A and B are shown apart, each in its own frame.
Chain A
């Protein structure tokens, strides 16, 4: 292909990517949008294959088949609850590939016979080399960070924050070290070992940046790492002067950044606070436990819950990650169906950080065949709690905590929450009185309108279903 044809093909790729992503705005068109983006990818791959078919074909085909089989196997088997770890793993693969491509181009440029005559790079070399170094650093951070995020989500390691003294100082020192090594590399463009050192420092940085981040902050971390891989791909694109990589990488970088901001806003925390705050380490806040000690919690029975649900007009169900942990999505849907058959309006209120990645709870409910017109975002539903007869909270805690609105001393003060406390009656399904992930007491439970149904969420829901059929 001529250079013009190649660029036209990459233009087609970019247009297909953007158009595909535009179609992700509605559940009606999203599936087609994904296929359009995949078509864009096929155009780009065909282009590079036609242009470079002469060399190393066997190596490329074998490596592709190995990678593709692993990718398809993972993608087809993964459970929807495990989607965050799958995305983290694919993200790590992308980051690793970007870093390796950049490192590979640098190694190919290294002079075979190292003499001082080779150490003065031209302007072009410096430009491309800087981008390659950026890609090696960010790609490596994304690779190791994603693997740690995967390990935490898969519970191969503790999801609670891991901290040690001078953590931030060490991280800052590593970052500066990587930057200095990269600058040195630009001028002494000869040492392969130096390149390895840059990659190792960046890999260590990725690990150290993710280990202090707690399980509940994972939606932010995954978005951020996704964004990093996008930037690494774009930097690789600058290194190779390939517009398809630049456009695709930049789109992903921008999208990851937006999702990161959305997630931070939903928790009322700054990105700095998430990455450097090690939230959740101070679980035993003195005074937090006694705060509710003298207050009375009202407990209820499945029969009473079924009665109040069945005779309401509007029931709002608030699902949290505890619902997915108990694998009770089907039971929740069955309750919603039974109520709708009785003429009760049922809506699901979904907090942006419900689940382990952005939008995760929507996917889990969609998997259980809950129609998406029953799923409501926080802003869309918050005004309706005041008209709701019953708010049924299943496996959610911190996102319903009114202390976020009323108690300036609370750790989650200012976090946007679902206004569950405004409903006529509130029923909370909970395993025990243990505080939620954030370790913060929830005054909602002591509200006179609130009653608790203790036990495994799935068992409780099954009992409610039985009772509903007899009401």
Chain B
């Protein structure tokens, strides 16, 4: 692996990181406070993406220490992902449309 090629790949990732920061701030600041708990719970599930890293680690693992670490990482990551999405769905299922109102109004801002 040539050192020049990989450095540019790190810079490229930094590029993604910087843009994702702004995107995150913009997307999240539009979420009304009524939905802050499901928002937090959904983002909680999304950081379960480390599960993908854990699989990658486990697939390249050799030796029992490495296997043990990888297995723990996979189990924790899987619990985070699955539990996070399931619990968010449970919370959001409770937010019912007000009776007789086709559109949301009141405390929920749409801007």
Instruction: List the interface of chain A (C-beta within 8 A of B).
Output: 13-14, 17-18, 20-22, 24-28, 30-31, 33-35, 37-38, 41, 44-45, 47-49, 52-56, 59-60, 62-68, 70-72, 74-76, 78, 80, 83, 86-87, 90-91, 93-94, 96-98, 100-101, 103-105, 107-108, 122-124, 127-128, 222-223, 226, 229-230, 232-234, 236-238, 240-259, 262, 350, 352, 357-360, 362-363, 366-367, 369, 371-377, 380-381
Contact pick for B75, options A66, A372, A375, CB 8 Å: A66
In the bound assembly, the distance between CA atoms of A34 and B38 in angstroms comes to: 9
Let me know if B59 and A250 touch, CB within 8 A. no
Contact of A63 among B24, B42, B78, B93 (CB under 8 A): B78
Q: List 15 A-B contacts (CB under 8 A).
A: A17-B46, A21-B28, A26-B32, A60-B59, A63-B70, A94-B48, A97-B48, A101-B50, A223-B40, A238-B13, A243-B13, A357-B40, A363-B37, A373-B98, A373-B101
Residues from chain A with Cβ under 8 Å of B21 in the complex: 250, 253-254
Q: Give B1-41 as 1s and 0s: 1 = Cβ < 8 Å from A's Cβ atoms.
A: 10100110110010011001101110111111111111111
Partner of B36, one of A13, A52, A259: A259
Across the interface, B3 reaches (CB within 8 A) one of A24, A123, A230, namely A123
Structural contact, B51 and A104, CB atoms closer than 8 A: no
Instruction: Please determine whether A52 and B90 come into contact, CB atoms closer than 8 angstroms.
Output: no
CB-CB nearest in chain A for B42: A34
Q: Which residues of B contact A375 (CB under 8 A)?
A: 34, 106-107
A68 and B79 CA atoms in complex are apart in Å by 5
Q: When the two chains form their complex, are residues A21 and B57 in contact, meaning their CB atoms are under 8 A apart? A: no
In the bound complex, residues from chain B placing their C-beta under 8 Å from that of A87 are 40-41, 44, 87
In the bound assembly, the distance between CA atoms of A37 and B46 in angstroms comes to: 7
What residues on A are CB-neighbors of B45 within 8 Å?
34, 37-38, 41, 90
From A27, A38, A67, contact of B35 by CB (8 A): A27
Using A27-B108, A124-B6, A371-B96 as known contacts, say yes or no to A55 and B38 having CB atoms under 8 A apart. no
CA distance A395 to B1 in the complex (A): 63
Flag if B91 contacts A74 (CB, 8 Å).
no
Complex interface residues of chain B between 52 and 105 (CB less than 8 A to chain A): 52-62, 65-67, 69-99, 101, 103-105
What is the CA–CA distance of A74 and B78 in the complex, to the nearest angstrom? 13
Please indicate the chain A residues that have their CB under 8 angstroms from the CB of B94 in the complex: 80, 363, 366-367
B32→A377 contact, CB < 8 A: yes
B interface vs A, CB < 8 Å? 1, 3, 6-7, 9-10, 13, 16-17, 20-21, 23-25, 27-62, 65-67, 69-99, 101, 103-108, 110
By the criterion CB–CB under 8 Å, are B92 and A52 in contact?
no
Contact A94–B52 (Cβ < 8 Å): no
B13 x A241 contact (CB < 8 A): yes
Task: Decide if A248 touches B49 in the complex (CB within 8 Å).
Answer: yes
Question: A45-B52, A67-B82, A74-B83 known; A359 and B39 CB under 8 Å?
Answer: yes
Sample of 6 further A-B pairs with CB below 8 A, known A96-B76, A238-B13, A366-B94: A41-B49, A75-B86, A93-B48, A237-B13, A252-B43, A369-B96
Residues A55 and B49 in contact, CB atoms below 8 Å apart: no
Interface contact B47-A230, CB-CB below 8 Å = yes
In whole Å, how far is B13's beta carbon from the nearest beta carbon of chain A?
6
When distances are taken between beta carbons in the complex, the residues of chain A under 8 Å from B35 are 24-27, 30, 359, 362
Q: How far is the CA of A233 from the CA of B94 in the complex (A)?
A: 30
Q: Which residue of B lies closest to A374 (CB)?
A: B106
User: How distant is the Cα of A245 from the Cα of B87 in the complex, in angstroms?
Assistant: 22
> From A88, which residue of chain B is reached at the shortest CB distance?
B44
Residues of A within 8 A of B84 (CB): 71, 75, 90
Q: What is the minimal beta-carbon distance from A144 to any residue of chain B, in angstroms?
A: 13
B24, B78, B97: which contacts A253 (Cβ < 8 A)? Answer: B24
Identify which of B56, B66, B67, B83 gathers the most chain A CB atoms within 10 Å of its CB.
Answer: B83
Do B40 and A362 have beta carbons less than 8 Å apart? no
Residues in B with CB closer than 8 Å to A54 are 59
Cα(A366)–Cα(B33), bound, Å: 14
Contact B40 A41 (CB under 8 A): no
Bound complex: CA A398 to CA B62 (Å):
56
CB atoms of A56 and B91 under 8 A apart: no
| A247:B40 contact, CB within 8 angstroms | no
**Contact status B87-A86, CB under 8 Å:** yes
Best-buried of A31, A65, A122, A362 by chain B (most CB within 10 Å): A362
A22 to B93, CA, bound (A): 18
Contacts of A250 in B (CB 8 A): 16-17, 20-21, 24
- Given A28-B97, A90-B44, A359-B37, the answer on whether A67 and B77 have CB atoms closer than 8 Å is yes
Residue contact B58 to A97, C-beta cutoff 8 Å: no
> Residue on B with the closest CB to A359?
B36
**Which A residues are CB-close (under 8 A) to B17?**
234, 238, 246, 250
CB distance from A289 to the nearest CB of B (A): 34
Q: Would A68 and B27 be within 8 Å (CB), given that A362-B35, A369-B96 are in contact?
A: no
Q: Is the CB of A233 within 8 A of B49?
A: yes
Chain B residues closer than 8 Å to A362, beta-carbon distance: 33-37
Q: Which residue of B lies closest to A38 (CB)?
A: B85
Contact A72 B56 (CB under 8 A): no
